[in-house]
Amino acid sequence: MKKMYEHTDEWLQSPEQVNPAHAVSANSRIILVDDDEDLRQLIIHKFKHSQLIIDQAGSVQKAKEMLYENHYELILLDLMMEPESGYKLFEFVKNDPKLKWVPLIVLSGSDDIDDKVRCLSMGADDYVTKPFHYKELNARVQRILARSKQFEQMAFCDALTGLYNRRYFYNQLVIEMERNQRYPVPISLALVDIDYFKQINDTYGHPVGDQVLQRLSCVLKQNLRQSDLVARYGGEEFVVLLTNTTEEQAATIMNGVLEKVRKVCFAKAGTEDVRITFSSGIAHLSPDLKVQEWIKRTDSVMYQAKEYGRNRVMTWNELASAIRG
């Protein structure tokens, strides 16, 4: 039995450093949907000194486009709009698998009890009557944002690494695939599996293994692009979704990460540097591929990378041409 090595502070990576929920808390992005320009201006002006980023839409149509283009953490929705009513957008949001979870505050000129009840039963998180005081609106916005962040963190983050978890990743994958049907762009999936991870645990003990996982999470976050979605898929396996990226581009990126990983000391075990490599398989989304098939395909490429000797990045195209000879 090998002895357990002391952790040095250097390697005690705080999960916060890679925590996605933490990272966005400073600049929450919200969308304000109201057909009255004066009201939009007022709200944007009032929130100017807050940490919030507020995008505005003057119509239901415009709001729909923006909701597809960007990720919002809160929707402020006016009910009475021309030509399409705010209820139209409300229904649209609540019927969309991605958008239905976004917190929504109704801004309404109507003090009517039936409107309030209808909105709350449709899933509004709050109902604010116009005219409103900025302080009150701000308090309600902040409360809902804080709540949903806590919830998101508990439900969607991996406790050890602070990365998104498998559940969150799967949801996002489905959403991205739906978006891709409407707006097709190259999109690639990469699975990353640490080579001989079991040996690290067996040799140095689980605490060192945990440090390696945390450190790799940091390296992944730091060497991937803002737009890449990275999650802990399970055990020593990570997954990356690279939008607007072909397999070949994804391979270049993942090779860059692997290059970095080879140079990094992942933990200190006494005087010994713990170093790792990984194997990665990449597959792009081809038309009509189902989500499970896509993951399975990526997994099979990753498996081949292991078979070919580990410490490498392989793509589906590469594999296919190798098989063709």
**Where on the chain is the footprint of other proteins (CB under 8 A)?**
36, 38-39, 41-42, 45-46, 48-49, 80, 82, 109, 130-134
Q: Identify the residue whose tokens are 């692997």.
A: 258
Strand 278-284 vs strand 313-315: parallel, antiparallel, or unpaired? parallel
Q: How big is the CA angle at 225 (ends 220 and 228), to the nearest 5 degrees?
A: 80
- β-sheet bridge partners, residue 201: none
Measure the CA–CA gap between 204 and 3, rounded to whole angstroms. Answer: 7
Closer to other proteins by Cβ: residue 54 or 173? 54
The distance of closest approach from Cβ of residue 78 to other proteins in the complex, given in angstroms and rounded to an integer, is: 8
The partner in contact with residue 130, picked from other proteins, Mg ion, none with C-beta cut-offs of 5 to 8 angstroms by kind, is other proteins
Closer to other proteins by Cβ: residue 44 or 122? 44
Residues 24-43 that bind Mg ion (CB under 5 A): 35-36
Q: What are phi and psi of 99, to 5 degrees?
A: -80, -20
**Half-sphere exposure of residue 185: CA atoms within 13 angstroms, side-chain side:** 8
Q: Which of 189, 197, 188 is nearest to 236 (CA)?
A: 197
Measure the CA–CA gap between 234 and 236, rounded to whole angstroms. Answer: 6
Closer to other proteins by Cβ: residue 56 or 148? 56
Chain Cα centroid distance, residue 304 = 27
The distance of closest approach from Cβ of residue 131 to other proteins in the complex, given in angstroms and rounded to an integer, is: 4
Q: Binding of Mg ion at residue 78 (CB under 5 A)?
A: yes
Q: Binding of Mg ion at residue 73 (CB under 5 A)?
A: no
User: 28 and 74 in contact (C-beta within 8 Å)?
Assistant: yes
Closer to Mg ion by Cβ: residue 60 or 302? 60
The distance of closest approach from Cβ of residue 54 to other proteins in the complex, given in angstroms and rounded to an integer, is: 15
Q: Binding of Mg ion at residue 66 (CB under 5 A)?
A: no
Q: Name the segment binding Mg ion (CB under 5 A); options: 71-79, 150-158, 229-237, 284-292.
A: 71-79
Closer to Mg ion by Cβ: residue 81 or 313? 81
Closer to other proteins by Cβ: residue 78 or 176? 78
Closer to Mg ion by Cβ: residue 132 or 303? 132
The distance of closest approach from Cβ of residue 30 to other proteins in the complex, given in angstroms and rounded to an integer, is: 17
The partner in contact with residue 39, picked from Mg ion, other proteins, none with C-beta cut-offs of 5 to 8 angstroms by kind, is other proteins
Q: Name the segment binding Mg ion (CB under 5 A); options: 79-87, 197-205, 209-217, 293-301.
A: 79-87
Q: Could you please report the per-residue DSSP string of 53-93?
A: EEEEESSHHHHHHHHHHS--SEEEEESS-SSS-HHHHHHHH
Query: Could you tell me the two tokens for 58?
Result: 């003057």
Measure the CA–CA gap between 318 and 316, rounded to whole angstroms. Answer: 5
Binding residues with Mg ion: total (CB under 5 A): 5
The partner in contact with residue 131, picked from Mg ion, other proteins, none with C-beta cut-offs of 5 to 8 angstroms by kind, is other proteins
Q: Name the segment binding Mg ion (CB under 5 A); options: 74-82, 96-104, 169-177, 309-317.
A: 74-82
The distance of closest approach from Cβ of residue 38 to other proteins in the complex, given in angstroms and rounded to an integer, is: 4
- β-sheet bridge partners, residue 157: 164
Q: What are phi and psi of 39, to 5 degrees?
A: -70, -40
Q: What are phi and psi of 29, to 5 degrees?
A: -105, 125
Residue numbers of the site for Mg ion (CB under 5 A)? 35-36, 78, 80-81
